[in-house]
Structure 1
């Protein structure tokens, strides 16, 4: 009896070891005629993308196919306000008190950003120097209504250094006569703005544009019957594009026009288009 019990115990232990192996070996196999998912996947278009780690784009201006790229996509946005280079602020510690200074003088030429939106003016002081005064673009309409060229103003703010080394006076308040304008955040709109409609335009590249750091950030497109149109693209993508489409090349652009926000003023009538797809010589390129 003892021998029989030992034999039964041994058989049970062997069964517990064999059973998992049988289950593992009997895993279902796909049918022979099953389609290959990878073979049927649609081929994505070629992407023009901003390279990470390369200030001027990918070495040699090469394009990268999205199927073989693991870089994180850089999305176009309109924080922009416009997404352009920001002037570096002066050396200030976070949370530290910063002393304000006051300048007085007369208003000179009005200045705009890369999209021709009013965000500054030249101030001629009594000492004969000229200072570039900068303010948020949403204050443009208020300042344009309050001051004209030659008006005397008093400005409080902070001195900073711009991206190109130019001295900038960052306005916190402006007084012109009995009018005072403060650097306050924009007022939220009572109704959300309508989403921009997609647009398509075909024309020739008249010229490439440079940002304040000297990098290509877009190009001017000449199209019959249209006002001046600027195609605004990231500097790294533009670097790749200049190797493919030179001045005078015909190009079709699909994208969305820039809509002025509340309080913004455009100094020159220019259509700003942020593209999603470019067509050059019959080949489409996706902007990322």
Structure 2
């Protein structure tokens, strides 16, 4: 009786020790997956379209024929990013009318004009600043012009017409990228200006982006620096500026002669501040 009890206890102990080993063998055997795990199931940190055995790209290779998923020459490959938004095909329209007034950016560099189409409202036509010389040579105030392009929202939400091409008489100006200069531009010499702050310059969004000195010099500063200068550089206070003069790039036109310094060091009440 005692012998049978010992045999039964030994059998139970052997079965208990052998059970984890059997489960470990079953989990390690790729040919016998556990019943509660789905084969090729998507992992939470590995999206289904990127599964090694799925339809998506693997190890940098693209699958599918032309126009298929993951193929750079398919429909997705024709799209690009512009202004942070995914862009595809853009419909072009044409507007015609007479040229009104020239429009410049914050540095008075020509980058647009108003177009009077006879409807009582003027359309703002915009183009890249490097096309300024070409556009100014092709048209003048009162010229009849036809502009191909598309409507878009400007930096402040205003509606503008982005030029793709402009035709006046027998002259056509296309929106072409700027040409790379044959020689690298020279580094401008460091300049110094001292004066009293006559006013603040605001960007189109109403943020301060510069200081106007009493000699008409404009000190260009980033908006986050202007915010820090609220109490330090009040109107009427004297300031010394070290910076680099802004020079025109090839093709640009400045509508108004302006002395613009991009500030690098400001001296206020005897204290120097590095601008960055």
Aligned residues: CA RMSD: 1.7
**Residue equivalent to 2:227:** 239
Return the alpha-carbon distance in structure 1 between the equivalents of residues 164 and 272 of structure 2: 46
Instruction: Return the offset for 1:100.
Output: 0.4
Q: Which residue of 2 aligns with 1:280?
A: 268
Q: How far off is 1:129 after superposition? A: 2.2
Distance 1:266 1:204 in 2: 25
TM-score by length of 1: 0.65
Corresponding position of 1:99: 91
Match of 1:205 among 193, 197, 200: 197
Q: CA deviation at 1:162?
A: 1.8
Does residue 1:252 correspond to 2:240, yes or no? yes
Match of 1:167 in 2: 159
The corresponding residue for 1:217 is 209
- Which residue does the alignment assign to 2:175? 183
1:253 and 1:90 map into 2 onto residues whose CA distance is: 36
Match of 1:242, SS state, is coil
Contact 1:104 1:126 in 2 (8 A): no
Match of 2:185 among 180, 189, 193: 193
Alignment partner for residue 133 of structure 1, among 104, 109, 125?
125
CA contact (8 A) 1:156 1:171 kept: yes
Length-normalised TM-score, structure 2: 0.68
> 1:90–1:286: structure 2 CA closer, same or farther, 3 Å change rule?
closer
Render the CA deviation track for 1:104-125: whole Å, top value 9, x for unaligned: 0000010000000000000000
Corresponding residue SS for 2:130: helix
Aligned pair partner of 1:109 in 53, 77, 101: 101
Where does the alignment leave 5 or more consecutive residues of structure 2 unmatched? 1-80
Q: Which whole-Å CA distance do the structure 2 matches of 1:265 and 1:205 have between them?
A: 27
Aligned ranges 1:146-157 → 2 under 5 Å? 146-157=138-149
Task: Report the CA distance shift for 1:93/1:237 in structure 2 as closer, same or farther (over 3 A).
Answer: closer
| Alpha-carbon distance change, 245 to 147 in structure 1, aligned in 2, over 3 angstroms | same
Instruction: Give the match's secondary structure for 2:267.
Output: strand
Deviation at 1:190, TM superposition (A): 1.6
Cα distance in 2 for residues equivalent to 1:115 and 1:92: 24
Q: Which has the larger radius of gyration?
A: 2
Structure 1 distance, partners of 2:275, 2:235, is 20
Structure 1: runs of 5+ lacking an equivalent: 1-88
